[in-house]
Chain A
């Protein structure tokens, strides 16, 4: 199966039913999203849209210092401001027994942090809360917050991981005096050393994978209510995983019984990982609502989002790749400093270790790999999972190193990749970094991408343009990712404090309508449509007869939430397993009604019929009605039609593909224009091609932005310089070409739906593709590597340096002809 892209035709129709009227199978159909009418017409119900009478508003007083001791906080004037109901400092919460936020993934020897909801005694990053004002309006709360008088004793601070490890660097916390939270390694050090000793060519490069800021369109928000009479606490919060929120906040932070604590996460406007974690504001708001017995709410301002949403990436890596004389990769050695920020958030230790080091084999058969990762505390915003979470860092590293290798060896980068691919007959393939790839066939995706790019013609054209002083480049990225997180037993052995299965209840009503209660959630993924397609496809009913309920611990049994491209493969499979149970019971009921043996009943086009007798049949609604009437059920069959399943996958899934970026560099100014972007992905079976395309578009846009524009910058005093949309280079539609997508399909064997997952693929593959393209364009200048983002000044300066060196040497460094 392959899809081609047609330009967007505008939104002519709204109802999903119309889209599905003439299709053979719902699974695999390009169905318009059921949720879009409400989003596109402003009727979404986000946390900030929830209204509760008598709600109070919270405003946080935040540290302007990256590191300081708090000498005193005077809230007298703030507390006296009209409309203010209460004011709190960190000690108030700590004294009341509110614990710091724990880390959910432990590594051997890990030095944890204790992230108080409101800082006690010391602040460790700019934006850390030091007090909270509760008032009867958001305006009064902010006005009063300006009246808070905080006496700080500013201390030296460090933002850079390398500098944080230097002798005499400012210390983030005394429990880790060397600023090291953990040291971790994977692979075979001795075998890798031997491989390097025998190699004919070694490429070495220091690579900085810069810090990114997620910037979901909906800022983080929360609203808490408490009813003393029933001791029930309810928290509406922008969460990707409300059950995890409830478990950790209830059991570990607030000490609230789980069955008296409801977490509701209604529509969520983008997360990219940043809404997985438990945040301090949510803890404070929930505790205050319980303390005051009044509803309390908070919604982040955009500048608060920049300072306090978990950041992503931020690696400094020394990488070495070794080749033999024939161009085979024989070894990879990696040393990475991972900047963790000032505190460890929920998954922080897992991201630069098990989601990074284990992916360092890429699509290649590399006999020996060794990676060491040092997790470093700095006086910066905490760093955790951000779209791809460790895997983009791994992909960028491998794909840059392969390109550098190709350049050093004088080989074509596409052919070097092909030569080193794990062959299709080697699957399941065990890498030297602990993963067993489920399935793969890498050459067809590469070939298709090269054909779409017309690679050979491009190379000829490139040469002609260079003669005219124009610099175009092409870059490949053959990526792999591990998603469908994850086998609980495996992650448990690796330090996860939770399992990573998913649950689903499929509830059929007497009239044959269906509600699915899923532990997955959505922040834009379109599950209300794709999950309904799974149900409609299996039961032979329309997707408008299926509702998906998620994001509410009061309605959904349990769930691990949505991240790590896991919802289709894990959450979707849990639904499919429940559907199997529904079908099995339905067949028994149908057999009873049709006076046939259950094993002779077949389900075709939404009707249960006797094999060989299509006219002897019952519709799904006939069965459901019979199940609930219970006037005549087969012996041993209970009334009702509902099934519960928990699916724990036996392995990760491994989507892969090849992306190609084509760029032109303006040598006069250093500006890079992305001219074309081609992506051939293999995400296994596809439930809804339109939604998969959309996921890829968004991910590619984010990755292109990392390559060209985005990057959190701190100054030497650890002040965040890129704290707003005025200076943080979020991608805009007009900066991007229309993406050209195609797919190959290699179904995953680890789940019955054959799904691999797609949520992160675009963001994983694209930074390397774009960076490789820019470096290809710059090759006439002898520029082998520049760190992202490849901003115009950075590129221009590199070109200038090359030209000046060329001029000095009297050589013929490339010059502009324009």
Chain B
């Protein structure tokens, strides 16, 4: 409730934010919506001496379409993502997932960039952007670079973002024709975080054969994770309930379960399979 003393800096531009970040390399922390950071500061689990607020940097917010992709500014709120017509058209799964985060107050404050950079193992959007094959544009003192999302999440609350870098934009490529996506979430009754969440993007070719699939899971592993065994099992197969069921059975392969909540390993393994099946089923239905 009462955080330790800190100094507040409001960045006016990306350059300004980077300069401030350089000033406080050890005890500075970026803040946008603050809905992950402030609670831990109030509990004094985190005590950054300097907060650098990027929420009012104009170029960091908003959604654009260009070059065959959606470009979503890092400080675009979950509410804005959920209600964006462009996103609902091009990547409905992303809008749907953003609308399932927390509650209305959280969605009005929390941002897509904040959620990804924070890399909470139970956050929704990391799985979604993994399934969408997003690219994350970051800038640092030495210029900008683009990180493919498959390389972004590296561990619990850990990402490929360097300490002096700022995530500025999430690029989501337009899906090819005959592609459907769905995010299935089991929200923890208390926190609203994903006990398990599975995002699936499936492209189905002629004859109902799955041409490509990207499936990602959040909640159960130390970080959002591609379910590559599931993808391998479904690609080239018919997008039928039997094909989906067989692929979903492989949802527990290729990643390690973290210790979290109750229920035990068998229960969580079952959740992974059930939610994978449901996400694939709905994704195929949307093709």
Taking Cβ atoms with an 8 Å cutoff, the residues of A that contact B are 138-139, 142-143, 146, 301-303, 668-671, 708-709, 725-730, 732, 735, 791-793, 796-797, 800
Q: Mark B186-199, 1 if CB is under 8 A from A, else 0.
A: 10011101000000
Count chain B CB atoms within 10 A of each CB in A146, A301, A708, A792 and give the residue with the most: A792
Choice from A302, A669, A708, A792 contacting B1 with Cβ under 8 Å:
A302
B43 at the interface (CB under 8 A from A): yes
Known: A668-B274, A669-B271, A793-B267. A725 touches B2 (CB 8 A): no
Closest to A670 in B: B267
Asked whether, in the complex, the Cβ of A792 is within 8 Å of the Cβ of B263, the reply is yes
Asked whether, in the complex, the Cβ of A793 is within 8 Å of the Cβ of B264, the reply is yes
Asked whether, in the complex, the Cβ of B2 is within 8 Å of the Cβ of A735, the reply is no
Asked whether, in the complex, the Cβ of B274 is within 8 Å of the Cβ of A732, the reply is no
Q: How far is the CB of A815 from chain B (nearest CB, A)?
A: 14
Contacts of B42 in A (CB 8 A): 301
Asked whether, in the complex, the Cβ of A143 is within 8 Å of the Cβ of B189, the reply is no
Known: A669-B270, A732-B103. A138 touches B189 (CB 8 A): no
Name 6 extra pairs, CB < 8 A, besides A726-B191, A791-B262.
Answer: A146-B44, A301-B42, A669-B186, A725-B191, A729-B190, A796-B270
Contacts of A735 in B (CB 8 A): 189
| Interface set, chain B 223-274, CB cutoff 8 A to A | 262-264, 266-267, 270-271, 274
Count chain B CB atoms within 10 A of each CB in A709, A729, A793, A800 and give the residue with the most: A793
Contacts of B5 in A (CB 8 A): 139, 143
Known: A302-B1, A303-B43. A797 touches B267 (CB 8 A): yes
Q: How far is the CB of B213 from chain A (nearest CB, A)?
A: 22
Asked whether, in the complex, the Cβ of A142 is within 8 Å of the Cβ of B2, the reply is yes
B contacts with A: majority SS: loop
B4 at the interface (CB under 8 A from A): yes
Known: A669-B186, A726-B190. A143 touches B270 (CB 8 A): no
Q: How far is the CB of A475 from chain B (nearest CB, A)?
A: 19
Taking Cβ atoms with an 8 Å cutoff, the residues of B that contact A are 1-2, 4-5, 42-44, 103, 186, 189-191, 193, 262-264, 266-267, 270-271, 274
Q: In the docked arrangement, what's the CA distance between A195 and B264, Å? A: 44
Known: A139-B5, A793-B264. A708 touches B189 (CB 8 A): yes
Choice from A668, A709, A797 contacting B189 with Cβ under 8 Å:
A709
Choice from B4, B190, B263, B271 contacting A725 with Cβ under 8 Å:
B190
Closest to B103 in A: A732
Asked whether, in the complex, the Cβ of B190 is within 8 Å of the Cβ of A709, the reply is yes
Pull 6 A–B residue pairs with CB atoms less than 8 Å apart, ordered by A.
Answer: A301-B42, A303-B43, A668-B270, A729-B190, A792-B186, A793-B264
Contacts of B186 in A (CB 8 A): 669, 671, 792
Asked whether, in the complex, the Cβ of A796 is within 8 Å of the Cβ of B2, the reply is no
Q: Would you list the 10 A-B pairs with minimal beta carbon distance, nearest first? A: A793-B263, A301-B1, A729-B190, A709-B189, A142-B2, A726-B191, A729-B189, A668-B274, A793-B267, A727-B190
Q: In the docked arrangement, what's the CA distance between A303 and B103, Å? A: 21
Q: In the docked arrangement, what's the CA distance between A800 and B43, Å? A: 39
Asked whether, in the complex, the Cβ of B267 is within 8 Å of the Cβ of A796, the reply is yes
Closest to A731 in B: B189
Q: How far is the CB of A297 from chain B (nearest CB, A)?
A: 13
Contacts of A708 in B (CB 8 A): 189
Q: How far is the CB of B220 from chain A (nearest CB, A)?
A: 13
Q: How far is the CB of B242 from chain A (nearest CB, A)?
A: 13
Closest to A816 in B: B274
Q: In the docked arrangement, what's the CA distance between A796 and B2, Å? A: 40
Q: In the docked arrangement, what's the CA distance between A755 and B52, Å? A: 59
Q: In the docked arrangement, what's the CA distance between A138 and B44, Å? A: 14
Asked whether, in the complex, the Cβ of A728 is within 8 Å of the Cβ of B190, the reply is yes
Closest to B196 in A: A669
Contacts of A302 in B (CB 8 A): 1
Q: In the docked arrangement, what's the CA distance between A197 and B43, Å? A: 58
Closest to B277 in A: A668
Asked whether, in the complex, the Cβ of A669 is within 8 Å of the Cβ of B103, the reply is no
Contacts of A139 in B (CB 8 A): 2, 5
Q: How far is the CB of B39 from chain A (nearest CB, A)?
A: 8
Contacts of B271 in A (CB 8 A): 669
Count chain A CB atoms within 10 A of each CB in B2, B42, B264, B266 and give the residue with the most: B2
Known: A303-B43, A725-B190, A791-B262. A143 touches B274 (CB 8 A): no
Contacts of A793 in B (CB 8 A): 262-264, 267
Asked whether, in the complex, the Cβ of B2 is within 8 Å of the Cβ of A301, the reply is yes
Closest to A141 in B: B2
Closest to A727 in B: B190
Contacts of B191 in A (CB 8 A): 725-727
Q: In the docked arrangement, what's the CA distance between A669 and B187, Å? A: 12
Contacts of B274 in A (CB 8 A): 668-669
Q: In the docked arrangement, what's the CA distance between A725 and B263, Å? A: 19
Q: In the docked arrangement, what's the CA distance between A671 and B184, Å? A: 14
Closest to A59 in B: B2
Contacts of B190 in A (CB 8 A): 709, 725-730
Q: In the docked arrangement, what's the CA distance between A671 and B2, Å? A: 37
Contacts of B189 in A (CB 8 A): 708-709, 729, 735, 791
Contacts of B43 in A (CB 8 A): 303
Contacts of B193 in A (CB 8 A): 726
Q: In the docked arrangement, what's the CA distance between A302 and B103, Å? A: 19
Contacts of B44 in A (CB 8 A): 146
Q: How far is the CB of A138 from chain B (nearest CB, A)?
A: 6
Q: In the docked arrangement, what's the CA distance between A138 and B4, Å? A: 11
Q: How far is the CB of A722 from chain B (nearest CB, A)?
A: 8
Q: How far is the CB of A187 from chain B (nearest CB, A)?
A: 38
Q: In the docked arrangement, what's the CA distance between A43 and B42, Å? A: 26
Contacts of A800 in B (CB 8 A): 266
Closest to B43 in A: A303
Contacts of A670 in B (CB 8 A): 267
Q: How far is the CB of B40 from chain A (nearest CB, A)?
A: 11
Closest to A728 in B: B190
Asked whether, in the complex, the Cβ of A138 is within 8 Å of the Cβ of B2, the reply is yes
Count chain A CB atoms within 10 A of each CB in B1, B4, B42, B44 and give the residue with the most: B1
Contacts of B4 in A (CB 8 A): 143
Q: How far is the CB of A594 from chain B (nearest CB, A)?
A: 61
Contacts of A796 in B (CB 8 A): 263, 267, 270
Q: How far is the CB of B205 from chain A (nearest CB, A)?
A: 27
Q: How far is the CB of B67 from chain A (nearest CB, A)?
A: 38
Contacts of B264 in A (CB 8 A): 793, 797
Q: In the docked arrangement, what's the CA distance between A797 and B264, Å? A: 9
Q: How far is the CB of A81 from chain B (nearest CB, A)?
A: 12
Q: In the docked arrangement, what's the CA distance between A671 and B267, Å? A: 12
Q: In the docked arrangement, what's the CA distance between A728 and B188, Å? A: 10
Q: In the docked arrangement, what's the CA distance between A727 and B186, Å? A: 15
Q: How far is the CB of B195 from chain A (nearest CB, A)?
A: 8
Q: How far is the CB of B152 from chain A (nearest CB, A)?
A: 25
Contacts of A792 in B (CB 8 A): 186, 263
Q: In the docked arrangement, what's the CA distance between A669 and B44, Å? A: 36
Q: In the docked arrangement, what's the CA distance between A142 and B1, Å? A: 10
Contacts of A727 in B (CB 8 A): 190-191
Q: How far is the CB of B187 from chain A (nearest CB, A)?
A: 9
Q: In the docked arrangement, what's the CA distance between A725 and B191, Å? A: 7
Q: In the docked arrangement, what's the CA distance between A380 and B178, Å? A: 58
Contacts of A669 in B (CB 8 A): 186, 270-271, 274
Q: How far is the CB of A789 from chain B (nearest CB, A)?
A: 9
Contacts of A142 in B (CB 8 A): 2
Closest to A57 in B: B2
Count chain A CB atoms within 10 A of each CB in B193, B262, B266 and give the residue with the most: B262
Count chain A CB atoms within 10 A of each CB in B189, B190, B262 and give the residue with the most: B189
Contacts of A303 in B (CB 8 A): 43
Q: In the docked arrangement, what's the CA distance between A729 and B192, Å? A: 10
Q: In the docked arrangement, what's the CA distance between A732 and B186, Å? A: 15
Contacts of A143 in B (CB 8 A): 4-5
Q: In the docked arrangement, what's the CA distance between A426 and B274, Å? A: 54
Q: How far is the CB of B60 from chain A (nearest CB, A)?
A: 28
Closest to A299 in B: B1
Contacts of A730 in B (CB 8 A): 190
Q: How far is the CB of B274 from chain A (nearest CB, A)?
A: 5
Q: In the docked arrangement, what's the CA distance between A581 and B190, Å? A: 52
